[in-house]
Amino acid sequence: MAVELAKRLLVDAIWKTASIEVDGISFRDTQEIFEGRAPANMAVDDIIVVNNIKRAWMFLFENVDQPVNWQYMSEYNRILGEGSHP
């Protein structure tokens, strides 16, 4: 039941997480990116951040029954940082 609730609230969770990394991102921007569209005047790096957060959530949903160990966390973190600039 918790996984289903998380899936229903996914865009909100992504938006709240992305707002830590992306200044001024709106829920609407997040929804557009979630649906595969790029909001006007948004930096590519910011879109990558949101997409990575979405992909990390998908990884969690796909592996919800796996034990949380070093490999699991390493893959999650790899997804979050993919394509980001140092």
Would you kindly state where each structural domain of the chain is located, as residue ranges?
Answer: 2-81
Closest CA to 25 of 6, 43, 7: 43
> What mean pLDDT, rounded, does the chain reach?
93
CA 35 from chain center: how many Å?
A: 12
Q: Is the pTM of this model over 0.85?
A: yes
Give the model's confidence band at 4: pLDDT under 50 very low, under 70 low, under 90 confident, else very high: confident
Residues 66-82 have pLDDT tens digits of 999 999 999 999 999 99
The rounded percent of the chain whose pLDDT value lies above 90 is 86
